DNA sequence: TAAATATCGATAAATTAATATTCATAATTG
DNA sequence: CAATTATGAATATTAATTTATCGATATTTA
């Protein structure tokens, strides 16, 4: 039915729709959204139809309605509490990234093994890693960003899963596998860069 | 012939192969690599064959040979200089991320408009944004990480491209489009998180 | 040395994803 | 009010990616 990529695009549609709404637009056409995402209008319509997002012939889709329904699909009706495990360079950047807040995602706490990073008074407290288990249970945490060194990533993921976490965004450079009780999404900056460099060098050789 | 995803997997294969080599392995089978990446052995063999990476029936592939050839494909024969534009939270984390260094990627400089971030004495200097053009030309920079606020991202990308940059890794939450003279890869943490949360909630409803 | 076996390599099949086409219809226009 | 037009919805087509199949052949073993 709907492919994996559709969900990622739904996030992208939604972001653009919010901007259009802020600009005062009330209606939008598949062709416009397609242009913004660099895809075909047919794909926009197909994505929408897969999720029962309907429009009107001749007058397109209603911005408000799309946003509202997408919020439901993407579980934006409630704020999702997220923890950050590993508060070093990238973990800290993500904790301090305030764009999540306006988008229904709230980073509620960080956890680290290094005592000098602990800070229970800050806007977002950083606890000792030993408090992780109690915290997850006490706050019913389902989602975690994993930003520990590669050597700990696998064990930490297992721990999180065993304690009830069902979604992990992993930035450690090791491809962790999801299971039937947890989704894991891996982001590897090194590979993203390598990929960029590869395709850039392909451009070069093509243009010659 | 070879699909886009193949290149991304090549990076993943390579990373695993380097670890195997460090552990003393000299040979590897498609089945092993497939397990590590959670794909089928057939895909491993197909990926390899697309790039002329051959093995021996019965005795698999030679680790050294694979690494060497992958290094060629991924342009690892020389160190790629990369600049970071926007040295705030995430830009700084990426600059200080030392895992790039050992992988043929060297972050050579940062650029920011905020004077308090300028630092010409550090391991990786941070210049004023006004020096960007001269630096790119002087050092023949082809690759940039773009970590400025969304409002500047489009203009900054255009500027980089006009000055000869051919590969951009963009972390600002706006999908920038590549052109025929530059590859742009967008990473959007918010969307990655939304995606994770969505599929996690799907797991829940499936298991009930 | 012959038989058994594991694995690659090539190709075919299946699956997934994206695009094109066609048709129905709401809005617009004359 | 009929004709025109732009658009969504549904379906068909094409493309892309992944997986499965199967023959060939190194390696191992008896
Ligand atoms: N910094 C980046 O820009 C960047 C980019 C891509 C990937 N990464 C990856 O992200 C991860 C974190 O990178 P970083 O640069 O922030 O490293 P870092 O060393 O600055 O931070 C890692 C943090 O994890 C903590 N930690 C280690 N083991 C732990 C454990 N078992 N439990 C809890 N906390 C633990 C450490 O105390 C440290 O504060 C690494 O896997 C790295 O490879 C980082
Ligand atoms: N911090 C994160 O974890 C995170 C995560 C995902 C995405 N992002 C995105 O990455 C980008 C940077 O985020 P951040 O948290 O580091 O923000 P930040 O405000 O800390 O850093 C942005 C930096 O860019 C500089 N800057 C602004 N305009 C500039 C220009 N025209 N030329 C040069 N420098 C300029 C600012 O001085 C600042 O230092 C943003 O687009 C943000 O949405 C950040």
CA distance A13 to A120: 37
Share of chain A above pLDDT 70, in %: 98
State whether the beta carbon of B56 lies below 7 angstroms from any atom of strand C: yes
Q: Which atom of ligand 2 is nearest to the CA of B190?
A: 6
DSSP letters along chain A, please?
---HHHHHHHHHHHHHHHHHHHTT--EE-HHHHHHHHTS-HHHHHHHHHHTT---BTTTBEEHHHHHHHHHHHTT-SSPEEEEEE--SHHHHHHHH-TTTGGGTEEEEEEEES-GGG-BSSSSS-EEEGGGHHHHHHHHT--EEEE-S-HHHHHHHHHHHHHTT--EEEE-SSS-PPPBTTBEEEE--HHHHHHHHHHHHHHHHHHH-
CA distance A26 to A41: 19
CA distance A83 to A100: 12
- Report the mean per-residue pLDDT for chain B: 95
- B92 pLDDT higher than 90: yes
Q: What average pLDDT does range A16-28 have in this prediction? A: 96
- Of all ligands present, the nearest one to the C-alpha of B189 is 2
- A208 pLDDT higher than 50: no
Least Cα separation, residue A55 to chain B (angstroms): 24
State whether the beta carbon of A2 lies below 7 angstroms from any atom of strand D: no
Which residue ranges form the domains of chain A, and what is each CATH number? 3-73 (1.10.10.10), 80-191 (3.40.50.720)
CB atoms within 10 A of CB B176: 20
- Residue A42 in tokens: 């047919």
User: What pLDDT does A205 receive?
Assistant: 73
- B208 pLDDT higher than 60: no
Q: What are the tens digits of pLDDT across the range A180-199?
A: 899 999 999 999 999 999 99
Q: What are the tens digits of pLDDT across the range A64-92?
A: 999 999 999 999 999 999 999 999 999 99
Instruction: Report the Cα B46 to chain-centroid distance in Å.
Output: 22
Q: What are the tens digits of pLDDT across the range B76-87?
A: 999 999 999 999
Strand D footprint nucleotides (protein C-beta < 7 Å): 5-12, 16-21, 23-27
User: What pLDDT does A67 receive?
Assistant: 97
**Closest by CA position to A176, among listed A149, A196, A198, A158:** A158
8 Å CB contact between A177 and B38: yes
Using pLDDT thresholds of 50, 70 and 90, give the confidence band for residue A1. Answer: confident
User: What pLDDT does A128 receive?
Assistant: 98
Nearest Cβ partner of A93 from B89, B99, B199?
B89
Using pLDDT thresholds of 50, 70 and 90, give the confidence band for residue B53. Answer: very high
**Closest by CA position to A202, among listed A194, B10, B15:** A194
- B205 pLDDT higher than 80: no
Q: What are the tens digits of pLDDT across the range B102-112?
A: 999 999 999 99
CB contact under 8 A, A185 and B195: yes
Task: Please tell me the number of Cα atoms within 13 Å of B75 on its side-chain side.
Answer: 19
Q: Which nucleotide is nearest to A6 (CA to C1')?
A: C17
Closest residue (by CA) to atom 38 of ligand 2?
A: B88
State whether the beta carbon of B206 lies below 7 angstroms from any atom of strand D: no
User: What pLDDT does B206 receive?
Assistant: 64
State whether the beta carbon of A38 lies below 7 angstroms from any atom of strand C: no
Size of interface A-B (CB pairs under 8 A): 173
Tell me which chain B residues have a C-beta less than 8 angstroms from the C-beta of A141.
none
Instruction: Report the Cα B194 to chain-centroid distance in Å.
Output: 22
């Amino acid at each position: 039915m709907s492919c994996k990529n559709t969900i990622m695009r739904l996030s992208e549609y939604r972001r653009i729709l919010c901007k259009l709404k802020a600009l005062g637009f009330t209606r939008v056409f598949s062709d416009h959204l397609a242009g913004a995402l660099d895809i075909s209008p047919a794909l926009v319509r197909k994505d929408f139809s897969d999720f029962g997002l309907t429009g009107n012939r001749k007058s397109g889709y209603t911005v408000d309605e799309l946003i509202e329904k997408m919020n439901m699909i993407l579980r934006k009706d409630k704020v999702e509490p997220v923890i950050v495990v590993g508060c070093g360079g990238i973990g800290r950047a993500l904790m301090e990234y305030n764009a999540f807040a306006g988008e229904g995602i709230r980073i509620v706490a960080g956890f680290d093994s290094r005592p000098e990073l602990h800070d229970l008074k800050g806007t977002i407290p950083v606890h000792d890693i030993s408090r992780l288990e109690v915290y997850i249970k006490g706050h019913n945490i389902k989602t975690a960003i994993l930003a520990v060194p590669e050597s700990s990533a696998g064990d930490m993921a297992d721990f999180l899963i065993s304690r009830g976490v069902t979604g992990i965004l992993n930035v450690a450079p090791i491809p962790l596998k999801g299971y039937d009780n947890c989704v894991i999404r891996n982001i590897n900056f090194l590979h993203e860069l390598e990929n960029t460099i590869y395709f850039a060098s392909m451009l070069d050789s093509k243009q010659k």
